[in-house]
Structure 1
Amino acid sequence: MSIVYLDHAASSWPKPPKVMEAMVQCMEQYAANPGRGSHEMAVKASRVLFEGRKSLANLFRVKNPNDISYTLNTTMSLNIAIKGFVQEGDHIICTAIEHNSVRRPLEYLKKTKGIKISYVKTNAKGELSVDDIANEFTANTRLVVCTHGSNLLGSLLPIAEIGQLCKDKGVRFLVDAAQTAGTIPIDVGLMGIDMLAFPGHKALLGPQGTGGLYIAPDLELEPLLHGGTGGQSEAIDQPTVRPDRYEAGTQNTVGIAGLNEGVKFVLQEGTDAIHQKEWNATQRLMEGLMGIHGVSILGPDLGQNKTGIVSFTIAQADSSEVAFILDQSFQIAVRAGYHCSPLAHEMAGTMERGAVRASVGYFNTNSDMDRLIQAVREIAKHMA
């Protein structure tokens, strides 16, 4: 029996064939250091990195591709943004459904720099009122950090409205697009986004070890890493020119070559079409799970807009046990536990046993949804 892969919120699989082809071609033909030499292979490597930036800029409506810096993942991007911008005594607003990649850097700065943090609560379904964010602003509020889509609940937050609020208040806005980049249209200008952190290995369909951070052109951050960039080598300080300032060390040229092809696939298919396809699959899955005794679905209700995440619980069953059975007995790959988002579980009331998270990807089919529904039906029957 073939594997049904429903863990796309962690890493997408499979990838479009051209992603792997580009990576192999890079290894075979031009796997030299980009920006570190003038020979043909190094120039080709540099060219591919810039092509990737242009693809990403096209996707996110970024005017200057050099305002996008490559990183290893969203976590690194968020650390660059938060630690490079927040200063001692600042007040930061974020939501209570943030991933630990936001919460932990903020809590670290709370201990080391004495910053103040306001966690704005959502309802149990992960829905947020912009007014609740507005009520948290103080005289020293300097940054709002917000996930675009909850990695547990699948809820989508009103990014454009929050961005406008930040603009009106003169406060910078950082968005964690780990669950939306590639599946939900993002326009950094229209949405008022000053910094956008995104992964390459999820809905952008690239390999692991790729990601990026968009930084608004009028915003300067303290670099997280200092070192060689291939440019301004005579200077003792980190270069001021972008993207070199935020890209110390040798880049993952092989991975970025693959990421570029993944982004081009997304651009060709269109984020609206991708989102609609995944939404249709999640609705089919939710409707099927709702008919099973003992199963409770987290997040937005059937028919509401959301990402491809469907998290659920089965009566008194431990989520890790359910995921183990799905894997070993039914060859269905899901994620269980707390998903690095304990605050979201507090909002949903699932801290005791966690939740099973099925996350849909572009290449999943209706038969994949039906197999999971049937498997959960059998598990719930035996655990009742």
Structure 2
Amino acid sequence: MGFTTTPVMNEIVALDERSREIFRRIVETYLESGEPLGSRNLSRLLSMSLSPASVRNVMSDLEHLGLIYSPHISAGRLPTQLGLRFFVDAFMQVGDLTEDERASIDRQIRPAGRDQPVESLMQEASRMLSGISRGAGLVITSKSNPVLRHVEFIRLEPTKALAVLVGDHDQVENRIIDLPAGTSSSQLTEAANFLNAHMNGQTLPELRSQLQTLKQNVRQELDALSQDLVQRGLASWSGNVAEDMPARLIVRGRSNLLQGLEDQDDLERLRMLFDDLERKDSLIEILNLAESGSGVRIFIGSENKLFSLSGSSLIVAPYRDSDERIVGAVGVIGPTRLNYSRIVPMVDYTAQLMARLSRT
């Protein structure tokens, strides 16, 4: 989380100790109460001796840099989104969780049994993140690519067949596929036998890749109709992998974000945000955001187009499978005055826990 080097940013980074202390107090008051802080109250909080007039001069300089603003005339000051970003990058200290906090998270997301559905763990993780943040807890998991064990084609009609694909751990998926005109029962059997002979414990993407290299063998071993059937069978298993990737989304605590909102425009922006989250493109975007950096990422308001209208912040971290592939993400959506220093380590540990559970 760094800054783009600009003349204004160079000025911000070079703030003197007095300016930094005043800025830090304004942001901390905002994060605690959501209220603006005035010069008179601020002068009482400072460790150094400064008059309210001197504090106002410093606040004027901070406002000129775009770090704080006055919500209305004669009010105190609040941090801008730029100011919050500067605070998070330059001032925020993120500690580690205590043993009790780790144990509490472990208890809330502990699998009840070996066969507990992944979605149940996601529900618990999302509920827990919502509870600690008083925002919305978000958990996304990518659609896994099971290791294929067996495939079979069963004719239903002259131009339709049932593709039965069995994955590892006895995962079964049935899809009805269209058959090329004139497909015979022997061709159905040939296509299934060809696929079963070349699986060798591979996932679908791996098998597709191998079939590309075996194209010449396909031509030699199968006739044109059987080749087409092979491709139809593969397509029936996964559809478009890129579009299908984020198969499951769990969001808990949406009502937390609606509390205290009376302005209809604010309510509508939040509804639009959740509508966007349900769209697959937005889920892919969140996974990409989590993947684009190491560890926990923080996006404040308009820093990301998905949250620009609602003015929300996103704290998100990816979790990985045993092959270090990103298979999901956990996070918190909330107002810009989230308790970042408390929530960041919670999200980080939850991502680590989800990674361990996804490997069992």
Task: Give the number of the structure whose alpha-carbon radius of gyration is greater.
Answer: 2
TM-score, with structure 1 as normaliser? 0.21
Question: Is the helix fraction higher in 1 or 2?
Answer: 2
TM-score, with structure 2 as normaliser? 0.22
Q: Which has the higher contact order (CA 8 A, sep 6+)?
A: 1
